[in-house]
Amino acid sequence: MADTTARDRTVSIRLMLIGAFVGIFAPIAGFLGGTIVGVDQTVGGLEPLFVWLFVGMIVGMLGVAVGILGALRWVKGGHHLD
C-alpha cells in the first residue's frame, strides 16, 4: 500500500511540474517561433506571429490542464507534505 501511495504522489508531482513548465514556456516558444519565421509571409491571410503565438497558447492551455489534473489527483489521494 505504501508503494502505490508513493508512486501516486510522484505521478501527481510530475504532472503538476510538467503542466506548469508547458503552461509557462509554450506561449514563449510560440512567440519565438513566430518571430523566427518572419513577418513578410502570411499563412491563410494571417501573420505567422499570430499563428505561432495562438498555437503556443493552445499548447500552454493543455499544459495548464495537465497541471490541474495533477493537482486534483494530489488532493484526491490525500497526499500532504509532512
pLDDT value at residue 10: 87
Pick the closest to residue 39 from 52, 48, 51 (CA basis): 48
Q: Which residues of the chain have pLDDT under 50?
A: none
CA-to-CA distance for 9 and 4, rounded, in angstroms? 8
pLDDT value at residue 15: 93
pTM listed for this prediction: 0.80
